[in-house]
């Protein structure tokens, strides 16, 4: 199972003898740099199958001095196991990628903070994913501070599906010069959070930001203009899907595009924002056609009604603007693919002209 320093066990079922032998072979191995224990299932001595990692595999992590990539997403760890894992992290000075997505860490998130603060030298972490770990805001604020102050090489940070509401300033008040990809989907963000994010952009504390995803944060509605008035010169991907965007938010975004504050934008996702309105979406398409001659992908799933189809066609035909509109389970792709212009329109007959 160990090949070229990589151990990939993603989505496997391991009999007792297999994972015990693996733990023995891994212990102290100086060649292993990539360890993937995600979504694995283990057969325990009584014959039952569990998604909880055995102690032997947890304990071996701290004995791998060359480890750079540790993936444990979707695997269950008890509180004691997670504490043991974090003790092991302190022994991994070369660790760059840590993925704990959907591990249901909860209150035990404080052990990650302790591990980051306990590292003797500046951590090399560049990619951290703790999506869906249910870390409470009080614990998460300490982790954000540790990441912001100690992890100066951080390039990708995924905090989605954790309660950050009101605490984002702990992260954005520090300069994160290397941070390129930030995902804060479904984080219960408040207006104060987007103001702190906008201030970080204004003060150039996020100078290399390329991806910003704030999906499913409805409390941001009506407050997005504070971000759109700032220049994001390197941003390629922007998503505000599911944020209950209002006309004012959409108009501010259109102005940002027209005034070239988003010059490198390649993907814009505004799905599930029915409040944008027909006039705003029209203005958005016109701005995109004018400002992005090399093309842009715009996702407007469940933002418009069936009356909007012909207008979308007229604006996008013969251009490199790709527009995706989805009505229930049926999709409309409008724009030019690499091969040819495609118009695929599949509306259910019973939709009629009702607004979606």
Q: What is the structure's pLDDT at 348?
A: 30
Give the pLDDT of residue 346: 29
Reduced 3-state DSSP string for the chain = CEECCEEECCCCEECHHHHHHHHHHHCCCCCCCEEECCCCEEECCCCCEECECCHHHHHHHHHCCCCCEEECCCCECCHHHHHHHHHHHCCCCCCCEEECCCCCCHHHHHHHHHHHHHCCCCCCCCEEECCCCCCCHHHHHHHHHHHHHHCCCCCEEECCCCCCCCCHHHHHCCCCCCCCEEECCCCCCCHHHHHHHHHHHHCCCCCCCCEEECCCCHHHCCCCHHHHCCCCCCCCEEECCCCCCCHHHHHHHHHHHHCCCCCCCCEEECCCCHHHCHHHHHHHHHHHHHHCCCCEEEECCCCCCHHHHHHHHHHHCCCCEEEEEEECCEEEEEEECCCCEEEEECCCHHHCCCCC
pLDDT tens by residue, 93-127:
999 999 999 987 899 999 999 999 998 777 899 99
Sketch the domain layout of the chain as residue ranges: 1-149, 164-356
pLDDT digits (tens, 9 = 90+) for 124-176: 999 999 999 989 888 999 999 999 999 999 999 999 999 999 999 999 999 99
Residue 341 has pLDDT above 50, yes or no: no
Q: Tell me yes or no: is domain 164-356 CATH 3.40.50.970.
A: no
Q: What is the pLDDT of residues 70-88, one digit of tens each?
A: 999 988 888 999 999 999 9
**How far apart are alpha carbons 297 and 337 in whole angstroms?**
11
Task: Please give the CATH topology (third level) of the domain spanning 1-149.
Answer: 3.80.10
- What whole-number percentage of the chain has pLDDT above 70? 87
Per-residue pLDDT tens digits for 187-235 = 999 999 999 999 999 999 999 999 999 999 999 999 999 999 999 999 9
The yes-or-no verdict on residue 243 having pLDDT over 90 is yes
CA–CA distance, 52 with 347 (Å, rounded to integer)? 45
**Burial, 25: exposed, middle or buried (Cβ in 10 Å; 0-12, 13-18, 19+)?**
middle
| Calpha distance 322→300 (Å, rounded) | 11
């Amino acid at each position: 199972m160990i090949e070229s320093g990589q151990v990939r066990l993603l989505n496997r079922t391991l009999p007792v003898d297999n994972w015990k032998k693996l733990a023995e072979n891994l212990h102290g191995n100086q060649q292993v740099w990539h360890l993937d224990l995600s979504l694995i299932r283990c057969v325990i001595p009584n014959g039952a199958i569990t998604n909880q990692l055995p102690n032997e595999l947890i304990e071996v992590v701290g004995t791998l001095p060359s480890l750079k990539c540790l993936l444990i997403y979707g695997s269950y760890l008890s509180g004691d196991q997670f504490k043991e894992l974090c003790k092991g992290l302190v022994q991994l000075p070369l660790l760059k990628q840590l993925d704990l997505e959907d591990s249901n860490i909860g209150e035990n998130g404080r052990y990650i903070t302790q591990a980051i603060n306990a590292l003797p030298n500046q951590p090399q972490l560049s990619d951290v994913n703790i999506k869906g770990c249910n870390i409470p805001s009080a614990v998460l604020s300490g982790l954000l501070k540790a990441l912001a102050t100690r992890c100066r090489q951080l390039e990708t940070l995924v905090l989605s599906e954790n309660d950050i509401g009101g605490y984002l300033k702990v992260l954005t008040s520090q300069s994160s010069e290397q941070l390129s990809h930030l995902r804060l989907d479904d984080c219960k963000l408040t207006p104060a959070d987007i103001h702190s994010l906008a201030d970080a952009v204004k003060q150039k504390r996020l100078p290399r930001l390329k991806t910003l995803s704030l999906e499913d944060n409805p409390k941001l509605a009506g407050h997005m203009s504070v971000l759109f008035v700032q220049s994001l010169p390197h941003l390629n991907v922007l998503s505000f899907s599911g944020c209950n965007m209002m006309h004012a938010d959409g108009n501010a975004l259109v102005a940002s595009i027209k005034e070239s504050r988003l010059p490198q934008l390649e993907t814009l996702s505004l799905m599930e924002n029915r409040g944008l309105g027909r006039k705003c979406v029209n203005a958005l398409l016109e701005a995109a056609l004018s400002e992005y001659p090399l093309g842009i992908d715009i996702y407007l799933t469940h933002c418009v009604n069936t009356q909007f189809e012909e207008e979308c066609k007229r604006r996008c035909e013969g251009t490199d603007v790709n527009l995706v509109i989805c009505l229930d389970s049926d999709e409309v792709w409008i724009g030019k693919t690499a091969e040819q212009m495609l118009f695929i329109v599949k509306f259910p007959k019973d939709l009629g002209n009702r607004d979606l």
